[in-house]
Amino acid sequence: MKIAAITIDGYAALAPMAGVADRAVREIARAHGACYTVGEMTSAKGICQHSKKSEELLRPDDARPYAVQLFGEDPDSMREAARYAASLGPDIIDLNFGCPAPKITGGGAGSALLRDLQRAGAVARSAVAGAGGIPVTAKIRRGYDAGEDVAVEAALRLEAEGISAITVHGRTRAQMYAPPVDLGCIARVKAAVSVPVIGNGDIFTADDAARMFEETGVDLVMIGRGALGNPWLFSEINARMRGEPLPPRPSLQERLAVMRREIALLLDDKGERVGFREARKHVAWYMTGLRGAASLRRLCGEISGWEQIDEICRQAAAANPSDPLTE
């Protein structure tokens, strides 16, 4: 498929999870078959105020194609932020109209814009103008309040403002991540617009992805929580959609080796002081599904260097001699 003139080779992209989808996670995802990745969401106002943190979040990855994501409710700030982001050379600029976090919606951004589609359209129009020809995409939810469904109306408005692709999370802001994702909502958006539609939500296995493709007709799926500690999901989805046998699940030792590679990338990017602190959550993701996972995750809170990570790996191996990951 293509997003504007950008060729996307594959079936599953990595979602832009704030505080989670850092450079290390993105590089590991690409190495395991993600067709593109999206950087952590970045404040448009922060860019306009020359926030070093915001500017750092927009630094492009080496792997292509690569997207950055902006959030904000002010059209003027969004135009300037998109112009700055475009100057760094990403392949795609994504707009966040779906974040449910109160600290984002409280300021009128994220999924709060689904309550004011006129403003959402103005924000999108400004971003497209500022991007200077770089494709601008958008990520939305079904709506804001629990019972509403404004996804089709939002998608049509965004398409009219020049948005090149739309990612749909089939839940409202009020629902957060609790009920099953509404595939019907995603299917209705796909039927309504002519730009590519990307499905998001509840994809933890290749079967989940296949079901979303089949029931919604989306062009691509976007993986969030399901990829944490499980980057092999991307290659499994690619194989499933190509009609190929699924690759064998990684052994425990393979899983721990990839985890250690992810931590090494994290340290290279953020330094040891910040990197080892953030490594606690990375290691915890890779413990999911193991025997003794609860106690192993508790040990993650003590990580301050490689010594603690080595000990967690030893305990994981001792508790899992028969390797439950491949059973």
- How would you classify residue 8: left for phi > 0, otherwise alpha for psi between -120 and 50, otherwise beta? beta
**Residue 37 host element (H or E):** strand 37-43
CA dihedral (232, 26, 109, 53) in degrees, to 10, reads 150
Q: Which amino acid is at 327?
A: E
- Judge contact between 196 and 219, C-beta under 8 A: yes
Residues in CB range of 255: below 8 A, 6 or more apart: 286, 325
Residue 265's alpha-carbon distances to 23, 176, 279, in angstroms, are: 8, 31, 10
Helix (H, G, I), strand (E, B) or coil at 19: coil
Active site residue 99: yes
- Find the DSSP H helices in 178-228: 183-192, 206-216
Give the integer Cα–Cα distance in Å for 244 and 90. 32
Residue 125's alpha-carbon distances to 82, 119, 203, 226, in angstroms, are: 11, 10, 31, 32
Distance between alpha carbon 110 and the CA centroid of its chain, in Å?
15
Helix (H, G, I), strand (E, B) or coil at 138: strand
Pick the catalytic residue from 35, 99, 185, 313: 99
Active-site residue set: 99
